[in-house]
Amino acid sequence: LGGLPACPALREMLSALVATSTGTVATRTLPVLQPSAAGRWDSSNVASPVVLLPREGVAGDPWRMFYYGSDGTWSDAAATPFLPTGKCGLATSADGLTWTRATDECVFAPGERGAWDSLHVGVGDVHWNEDGRSLTMYYLAAGDEAVDGAPAGIRMRIGRATSEDGGLSWAREPEPVVSADAAEGLFASWPRVLPPALTGGPWRMLYHSFDGRRWRAFSCRSDDGGA
């Protein structure tokens, strides 16, 4: 997406590959989605897409791409962004190659001032629920909690939100579902979630953290439906 390195070899490697229903493969030179016009919420960058294929048996159901981006600021103008996070958007496609933003506005924004996710948010993973109609998103976020020697917004945690309208609007849970402990590092972020259909057991979440010296990956499990 936006901000790809200029290296030709890397761009070629990242060329979009989309398997169609007939089993053939179509290609398109990246990017398939770029930052929007100046003044929009995602005018500075777009990053970290999570793509959901059309649902089987649902006529006209589009491909959905959830992504995060910003206009170069975070919700607190005093905080200087050090990540491309900020807010979350949604784009749709009929073929997985040509994408159109579902709305000019973001679909998920930071929480209210003082909340644990008040400064910036970023989509981590999105899944259709068992009912086939609603969605669950696991997202990374932070408020303005101070951490000695670190920039504002680094104390990231993992939250959970649900949508009943295909991802256009979301209801967040009030507290994070995963927080890093001191032995892991400064934050818990960038979650990827495996439901029981893929694990054959409980829900599993993979996420990573940074302790000031090294990046490490961690995992956790849920026995209550991913909550």
The set of residues, in sequence order, having a beta carbon less than 8 Å from that of 13 and lying 6+ positions away, is none
| pTM across the whole model | 0.85
Burial class (CB in 10 A: 0-12, 13-18, 19+), 148: exposed
C-beta separation of 203 from 226 below 8 A: yes
pLDDT for residue 76: 74
| Alpha carbons 99 and 32: distance in angstroms, whole number | 7
pLDDT tens for the chain, 227 residues long, are 334 344 444 344 334 433 444 455 556 667 899 999 999 999 999 999 999 999 999 999 999 999 999 999 998 776 778 899 999 999 999 999 999 999 999 999 999 999 999 999 999 999 999 899 999 999 999 998 878 878 889 999 999 999 999 999 999 999 999 998 889 999 999 999 998 888 888 999 999 999 889 999 999 999 887 77
